[in-house]
Structure 1
Amino acid sequence: MAKVQASVTSAPQRKPTVTPIWFRRRALFASAAAALLVGGIVIADVVRPGGPGTTAEAAEVLNNAAAATIQTSDPVVGPGQYLKIATRSVFGTGGQAADVSDVRWEETTNSQMYVPADRADVWVWNREPRLILDSPSEEAKALPDEVRKAQEAESDGQPEFVGILRSPGGVFYGSEPTVIVGTPLREAASLPRDPRALLDLIYERTKGAGKSPDGEAFTAIADGLRTGVVPADLRAALYKAAALIPGVTVTDRHAMIDDRTGIAIGIASDGVTGANIVIDPASGLVIGVQSVLLKDYPGYPAGTVTTWTSLRTSVVDFAP
């Protein structure tokens, strides 16, 4: 789901050399309408995909999650109320100081999406600024701004927006929220509930994307599940569809995301990183997403959770 990249720029007169380390970010609603998926550098005891019997184990977990999610009532959002979808993301980045030493730290960003009872009404999206969680040395304090500038130069040269956005129907930046590629949220009822038919449609929609058809299909399902707004019957169908994808495994039965523990289901998306969704087995709800390195990367051993984002939903009476 997230791919490690590195870019090195150097400056004369022993100024800090920025070596930004960041990860491909996916939109929470599979469109520009949601918080960017970024994550944090933590070390976890992760079982990497490929072991015998793990696919069958994952199928059992996903089918159990489908059964649990049908038993879990969807939040009831009354007139004038909002479904609040709060995300907390932590991600690692770094650079090279003037003394050529590597410096790394963690940053975090939070966002809240307020979805009205009538989804055609105005959605509210509050995007908070990125904050540094850890700066290991005095010399490192100057590096974050330089890393951000390097990242902006690699993108469109614009800083990330911070503040409150409002848009009818959640059409932020010209894109409306989607369930899977090609199907907007407002048309979720049109998707098949039969797992095989749903998976075939997802394969068709993601054909030619990425390095692995199975990895792209799993990622498309994860993108839908983590919106927090997919109705229970469709969530169940998405779980069962994921259980049919070859190579999907249980990667961690005790995955921790933002002080909550769930079962991580994942796939080796590109041979470098594994994309995981973390499910609460009791409710069948997604509590977060993460990416795990499958191979050693300079400064990060295999098994490092490179990205994670937590997801919490609740019903509230007002939006900012």
Structure 2
Amino acid sequence: MNREVPRRPEQNADDADLFEAAGDPVLSAGSHRLLEGHLMSEIDAMARPQGAPDPHPAPRPRRSPYRRLAWIAVPVTALAVAATIALNPLGGNDDSATRATPDGKSPLTVIKVVPGSAKDLAAVVDRISFAAGASAQTPGPDQYLYTETRSAHAIIDGDNTRVDEPSTRRSWASPDGSRTWTINGTWQAAEPPTPDPHMGAPTYNFLASLPRDPDALLARIHADTEGQGNGADAQAFKTIGDLIRNQVLPPGLADVLYRTAARIPGVVVVPESTDAIGRTGIALARTDEVAGDRTEWIFDRNTYEFLGERTVLIRPLEKLPAGTVTGHSAALKRSIVDTIPTAPITPTT
């Protein structure tokens, strides 16, 4: 997995109020759309001088070394609330609802947690594995693995709950890990080489060396992650999820990873899930009973292409109700390219 770059958490006296217990939805979807249009027109009028152009500045991402949690873009101004409603394309058929905190500052996405089932697991994994194998790519030694991922998180830190804004992470990495350039929101830099690749910080060449037998691969993952996470099975599922979310996978490994995941106890098929940019699909999922959440890997229900990931609370956590969407990502691009940035590139948010 490409290394996450720590960012300094920003403090905000209002942030502790962002996750007050959400009440029942009070507006229909149609009412939300009407409210959004009204808010945006009012805010446009107030936010700039008469006759001045609307620059629509991009929000500045924030990250924290604390626990990553929700798909909630929630700066506390009225403009941010309206923008969040517009930019949070959740929905589909999973009974999602936007619930505001009592003071109206922070819309939360709370869904009905649909039970998963292992009944069709083997058939679904077969289709996902076939699609993954067909799309796998092999770079030359002088080429780069390019990945682009959109994600958003929230952080729970006691009473000082803070929210990250959605950001796009772009990465260029050589197969041997000796040359890597990362743009993460507004941060960008060349990263140091990876001298000792492992499951938590792999290179393409490291991944290409892994076993292609599902049982052997699962045993290797268990051995390499022993003592990590909330138990061997929970950590194995997390490790595979990190690989499929953040890497261009070698031929022969992409399909085996899903067959390996199907051997982990507790993995089920969820009929509907939504990624960070609003795409819906079928999901492979597993509940972490210690953390109290379920992680869902989302796939296009027609092509079985990997779309992204979602994490949902299955029971209340501090001030967040069960059903709160606590993590979202979307895989935007996975490709082989010939060049790596040598000069600053305008970051995306």
Residue of structure 2 equivalent to 1:236: 255
Q: Secondary structure at the match of 1:274?
A: strand
Residue of structure 2 equivalent to 1:164: 189
| Higher Rg | 2
Contact 1:216 1:269 in 2 (8 A): no
Q: Is residue 303 of structure 1 aligned with residue 323 of structure 2?
A: yes
Q: Which has the higher contact order (CA 8 A, sep 6+)?
A: 1
Residue of structure 2 equivalent to 1:288: 308
Cα separation, partners in 2 of 1:163 and 1:65, compared to 1, 3 Å = same
Find 1:67's aligned residue among 120, 126, 130. Answer: 130
Give the letter aligned to residue 187 of structure 1.
Answer: F
Q: Deviations over 1:247-298 (max 9, x none)?
A: 1112343433313333221111234111222233555443222211010235
Distance 1:79 1:206 in 2: 29
Find 1:215's aligned residue among 230, 234, 237. Answer: 234
Distance 1:176 1:223 in 2: 18
Cα separation, partners in 2 of 1:85 and 1:291, compared to 1, 3 Å = same
Give the letter aligned to residue 270 of structure 1.
Answer: E
Give the letter aligned to residue 335 of structure 2.
Answer: S
Give the C-alpha shift of residue 40 in structure 1.
0.7
Aligned pairs, number:
245
Residue of structure 1 equivalent to 2:283: 264
Find 1:88's aligned residue among 147, 150, 156. Answer: 150
Cα separation, partners in 2 of 1:86 and 1:21, compared to 1, 3 Å = farther
Q: Secondary structure at the match of 1:257?
A: coil
Find 1:279's aligned residue among 263, 286, 299. Answer: 299
Question: Superposed, which structure 2 residues align to 1:4-15 within 5 Å?
Answer: none
Identity percentage of aligned residues: 28
Give the C-alpha shift of residue 93 in structure 1.
5.5
Q: Secondary structure at the match of 1:47?
A: coil
Distance 2:155 2:235 in 1: 26
More strand by share: 1
Distance 2:202 2:169 in 1: 24
Cα separation, partners in 2 of 1:256 and 1:45, compared to 1, 3 Å = farther
Distance 1:208 1:94 in 2: 24
Residue of structure 2 equivalent to 1:43: 110
Question: Superposed, which structure 2 residues align to 1:3-152 within 5 Å?
Answer: 16=13, 19=16, 39-41=70-72, 42-49=109-116, 54-74=117-137, 77=139, 81-92=143-154, 107-116=165-174, 119-129=176-186
Cα separation, partners in 2 of 1:18 and 1:245, compared to 1, 3 Å = same
TM (norm. structure 2) is 0.59
Question: Over aligned residue pairs, what C-alpha RMSD do you find?
Answer: 3.6
Q: Secondary structure at the match of 1:88?
A: strand
Q: Secondary structure at the match of 1:224?
A: helix
Contact 2:129 2:255 in 1 (8 A): yes
Cα separation, partners in 2 of 1:56 and 1:194, compared to 1, 3 Å = farther
Distance 2:288 2:298 in 1: 16
Give the letter aligned to residue 279 of structure 1.
Answer: F
Q: Which runs of 5+ in 1 are unaligned?
A: 1-14, 23-35, 130-161
Give the C-alpha shift of residue 37 in structure 1.
6.4
Give the C-alpha shift of residue 95 in structure 1.
10
Give the letter aligned to residue 235 of structure 1.
Answer: A
Distance 2:127 2:272 in 1: 14
TM (norm. structure 1) is 0.64
Give the letter aligned to residue 302 of structure 1.
Answer: A
